[in-house]
Amino acid sequence: MALKPFRLKQSTIVPLGLAEVWEIAAQTSKVNHAVGLPPLVYSERTRSDGVREVVGNARQYGLPVQWVEHPFEWIYQKELRVERVFEHFPPLDRLIGGTILVPHTSISTEVETFVDVFPKNLLGYPVGWFVANQMITGQAAFFRSVAQKPNATNYFPPARKVRANRNVLQELRNRMRDLPCDQQLIDRLFELIQTQRDEDVATMRPFVLADAWGAERISLLRVFLYATWTGLLDMNWDVLCPNCRVAREPSPHLRDLTATAHCEVCNIRYDLNFDEYVELRFSVNPKVRSASNATFCALGSPALNEHIVAQARLKPNEQRELMVQLGPGGYRLRMLGIEQRCTIQAQAAGATNAIINLTATGPDQAALTLALEPTTLNVHNTTDREQLLIIEHDAWGVGRVSASLVSTLPEFRSLFSSEVLAPGLGLAIKNLTILFSDIKNSTPMYEQHGDSSAYAMVRDHFDVLFKAIEQHNGSIVKTIGDAVMAVFASPNDGVAAALAIHHNMQQANQARPERPPIVIKIGLHTGTCIAVNANEVLDYFGTTVNAAARAQGLSVGDDVVLTSDVMESAGVRAILSQHNLLSEPFTHNLKGISQVFTLYRLMPMAQREHRA
């Protein structure tokens, strides 16, 4: 006969809003570390029925303990829980631990921590009570400490002991003093490395840190690139699964990437792309600081899966009612390891309840429109196996430094020119902005002024272009004679750079009246392309690249030709409104491309009057 389980729980009122408390509670590894729980070691194995499961190991009270860790369950800003089924711990069958958050007032939250204990024998009652009491007492004490410092920027205790090489740190700081990046951000990075926990420096994400510090994202990314170049940090390229979006084994170099990857948890093989599935992360160099990447909680915790708003385990034939509240936008509902999914659109006029059956091939609903208010989902697992239900944001998170983005920065290309893909490998990029420029009538210029003088003018023109492109977060891919190919992660940056090129070139012409003025032709397009290794240089190919080159060919000089894809990108028209420009739309067949393009010729209003 099964022994009766019992629950221990404690509640604490924290003088912070629900959203702030969730951000703390969701970082389960840091919470467990803060309360003194031991580090854990996880591995994966396949059961005889083909199901993958996570096995945890730790030393508890000097004894080795092993368990099967079931997937976390949570509902965003409401509750989280995880179940451990013990394999080598005779007194206990399993524990379920979790946290429930309830708004207390508009500026405070009640935090209830609980542990459900399932004894295996009579000894399990005192042992279970002792283990559970330690867990909830430690967590309650941690949340009481949070309550005592409601205005803190970091609620987790600093590292107990930092094993850093002070001499190396000082030498590297001196080397970075003259580098062209934000010195205050460099100071904050060094402070982080010298004071924070191992897990904070073993995996660093610049955009996440920039948001936490209130810093400009690209500025901090530049600091990280220079810090890697000096030897303070190491770079790692993490391949993300398109389903669970969890990073697999990192690669130290781009050339280590392959065309496809496999996620064992989701049991899918997928093609890599450069702007979604490859993320650049950083870690402290071991010569600077010894940092163990120990974990104190499972990798499937809410903080590591910020895109997931709800996750629930349903036993065979189980029916459950889930209460969720979604923000505006798109979501997807899926089952772990099954490709079929249900798309969800959350909007004011949506339904406040829905019925979803989980079948062997996936959710039975193809699409749902749900309300922005609390919504009830009646979910039924109709299969004979346990299923993991996942509701997640359709869009990828904004905290990633994608390989596509970083490869457009001039610092990356100049400091890490050897970071290229393996020869013969091409990775897709969903969106990249390409700029081509050329000098108008450059051939007569060489004939009239001689090779030496003409080349000097071309070299000066390159200085103007390179500076404007780099100032707008772009990077030079290559020069082809007098022409330049540049890339930008954002159409806004590409358009701003094009306008700056013309403005700066006009000033350069006025500063050298003895020279004939240099007139530049510019074209831009944005869209999909392929990143490749071209003679050990990161290069790009595809229709988007060809269209940008053809658009430049239609430029008449002192103008910018944009495709409609660039013009209609968010923010571009706002940039153009800040300049006194004439925009002339026209259509044209671009050579070698079958479709007819709508293009826009941008030129100063004064140039129109001159033409008239």
CATH of the domain at 556: 3.30.70.1230
Q: What is the pLDDT confidence band of residue 44, given thresholds at 50, 70 and 90? A: confident
Q: What is the pLDDT of residue 566?
A: 96
Q: Answer yes or no: is 413 within a domain.
A: no
DSSP element (H, E) containing 231 = none
Query: Quick one: what percent of the chain has pLDDT higher than 70?
Result: 96
pLDDT higher than threshold 70 for residue 608: no
Collapsing DSSP to helix, strand or coil, 586 comes out as strand
Closest to 18 (Cα-Cα) out of 92, 109, 105: 109
Q: What is the pLDDT of residue 310?
A: 96
Closest to 210 (Cα-Cα) out of 140, 282, 262: 282
User: Residue 412 class from Cβ within 10 Å (0-12 exposed, 13-18 middle, 19+ buried)?
Assistant: buried
CA separation for the pair 580, 568 (Å, rounded) = 19
pLDDT in tens, 252-271: 899 999 999 888 767 788 88
CB half-sphere exposure, 122, CA atoms < 13 A: 0
Question: Domain tally for the chain?
Answer: 4
Q: Answer yes or no: is 401 within a domain.
A: no
CA separation for the pair 449, 472 (Å, rounded) = 33
Domain hosting 369: range is 308-393
Q: What is the pLDDT of residue 99?
A: 96
H helices then E strands: how many in the chain?
A: 16, 31
Q: What is the largest distance, in Å, between two alpha-carbon atoms of the chain?
A: 101
- Per-residue burial over 29-41, b if 16 or more Cβ lie within 10 Å, else e, is bbbbbbbebebbe
User: Residue 459 class from Cβ within 10 Å (0-12 exposed, 13-18 middle, 19+ buried)?
Assistant: exposed
The residue with greater pLDDT, 383 or 291, is: 383
pLDDT higher than threshold 60 for residue 512: yes
Looking at the fold, whether 177 and 219 belong to one and the same domain comes out as: yes
Q: Answer yes or no: is 409 within a domain.
A: no
The residue with greater pLDDT, 398 or 462, is: 462
Q: What is the pLDDT of residue 612?
A: 46
- Give yes or no for a contact between 233 and 285, defined as CB atoms under 8 angstroms apart: yes
DSSP 8-state code for residue 566 = H
Looking at the fold, whether 424 and 352 belong to one and the same domain comes out as: no
Query: Quick one: what percent of the chain has pLDDT higher than 90?
Result: 66
Q: What is the pLDDT of residue 168?
A: 94
- Give yes or no for a contact between 566 and 544, defined as CB atoms under 8 angstroms apart: no
Q: What is the pLDDT of residue 276?
A: 87
pLDDT higher than threshold 80 for residue 249: no
Collapsing DSSP to helix, strand or coil, 492 comes out as helix
Q: What is the pLDDT averaged over residues 588-602?
A: 91
Q: pTM for the complete prediction?
A: 0.84
Q: What is the pLDDT of residue 473?
A: 94
Q: Please, where are the H alpha helices in 383-540? A: 403-406, 410-415, 442-471, 491-511
* Number of residues in the chain: 612
pLDDT higher than threshold 70 for residue 115: yes
Domain boundary (279, 301, 323) is at: 301
pLDDT in tens, 408-420: 999 999 999 998 9
Q: What is the pLDDT averaged over residues 128-147?
A: 90
Looking at the fold, whether 191 and 229 belong to one and the same domain comes out as: yes
Q: Answer yes or no: is 239 within a domain.
A: yes
Name every residue whose Cβ is closer than 8 Å to that of residue 401 and which is 6 or more positions away in sequence: 205, 206, 207, 221, 279, 280, 281
CA separation for the pair 235, 227 (Å, rounded) = 10
CATH, residue 83: 3.30.530.20
pLDDT higher than threshold 90 for residue 54: no
Domain boundary (277, 301, 325) is at: 301
- Give yes or no for a contact between 529 and 432, defined as CB atoms under 8 angstroms apart: yes
CA separation for the pair 33, 39 (Å, rounded) = 8
Looking at the fold, whether 594 and 552 belong to one and the same domain comes out as: yes
CA separation for the pair 83, 5 (Å, rounded) = 14
Looking at the fold, whether 258 and 110 belong to one and the same domain comes out as: no
Q: What is the pLDDT of residue 216?
A: 96
Looking at the fold, whether 445 and 580 belong to one and the same domain comes out as: yes
- Give yes or no for a contact between 412 and 475, defined as CB atoms under 8 angstroms apart: yes
Q: List, in sequence order, every beta strand (DSSP E) within 63-195.
A: 63-69, 73-75, 79-86, 92-105, 108-119, 163-164
Looking at the fold, whether 439 and 370 belong to one and the same domain comes out as: no
Closest to 189 (Cα-Cα) out of 151, 158, 228, 155: 228
Average pLDDT value over all residues in the chain = 90
Q: Answer yes or no: is 60 within a domain.
A: yes
Q: What is the pLDDT of residue 296?
A: 60
Looking at the fold, whether 365 and 350 belong to one and the same domain comes out as: yes
Q: What is the pLDDT of residue 319?
A: 97
The residue with greater pLDDT, 43 or 478, is: 478
- Per-residue burial over 223-246, b if 16 or more Cβ lie within 10 Å, else e, is bbbbbbbbebbbbbbbbbbbbbbe
pLDDT in tens, 342-387: 999 999 999 999 999 999 999 999 999 999 999 999 999 999 999 9
Q: What is the pLDDT averaged over residues 428-449?
A: 87
pLDDT higher than threshold 70 for residue 71: yes
pLDDT higher than threshold 70 for residue 588: yes
Q: What is the pLDDT confidence band of residue 531, given thresholds at 50, 70 and 90? A: very high
DSSP 8-state code for residue 423 = T
DSSP 8-state code for residue 27 = -
Looking at the fold, whether 439 and 581 belong to one and the same domain comes out as: yes
Q: What is the pLDDT of residue 385?
A: 92
pLDDT higher than threshold 70 for residue 218: yes
Looking at the fold, whether 441 and 534 belong to one and the same domain comes out as: yes
Looking at the fold, whether 465 and 568 belong to one and the same domain comes out as: yes
Least confident of 11-25, 139-153, 167-181, 205-219: 139-153
pLDDT higher than threshold 60 for residue 611: no
CA 266, 268, 273, 274 torsion-angle sign: positive
The residue with greater pLDDT, 458 or 232, is: 232
Looking at the fold, whether 142 and 195 belong to one and the same domain comes out as: no
Q: What is the pLDDT averaged over residues 590-604?
A: 90
Q: Please, where are the H alpha helices in 148-252? A: 166-176, 183-195, 198-202, 206-213, 217-230
pLDDT higher than threshold 60 for residue 314: yes
DSSP element (H, E) containing 547 = helix 543-553
Collapsing DSSP to helix, strand or coil, 494 comes out as helix
Q: Answer yes or no: is 276 within a domain.
A: yes
Domain boundary (284, 301, 318) is at: 301
Q: Answer yes or no: is 329 within a domain.
A: yes
pLDDT higher than threshold 80 for residue 606: no
Q: Answer yes or no: is 91 within a domain.
A: yes
